[in-house]
Amino acid sequence: MREGMACDRVFIQDLLLRTIIGVKEEERQRPQDVLINLVLYTDTRPAGTSDDLRDAVDYAQVARQVGALVEGSRFFLVEKLAEEIAALCLQDSRVYAVDVRVEKPGAVRFARSVGVAIHRRR
């Protein structure tokens, strides 16, 4: 983070989507649930001052874009899905870093969920 840059965060929590993901043959047959959590690091002061959506990271738009990416994908690994989501989020020049957590609920017996969490910055 650069000197003087705000460490504000916009988050999207528990975005539940469906996609083809996994390496096993049965995982490639039908979509599975994935749970996405995002933290977008940005400076919210411009939007906080202007009260104008054009000065903000539009979390509804981010959620739609992530939904389209995830539901249209057919990756084998959650690691790849997480990388693609991070790259998408960093396309907005106001987002200087992102935390992405991708989970597959029920993928492992006796575990509520498994997945990966990554942090990427521009």
Catalytic entry in 34, 99, 104, 115:
104
Contact (CB, 8 A) for 39 and 98: yes
Q: What does each C-alpha distance from 85 to 6, 25, 79 come to in angstroms?
A: 23, 24, 10
Q: How far is residue 39's CA from residue 91's CA, in Å, rounded to a whole number?
A: 14
Please state whether beta strands 97-105 and 32-42 pair in parallel, antiparallel, or not at all (unpaired): antiparallel
24 flagged as catalytic: no
Beta strands in 1-112 (DSSP E): 8-19, 32-42, 97-105
Give catalytic residues, as residue numbers.
104
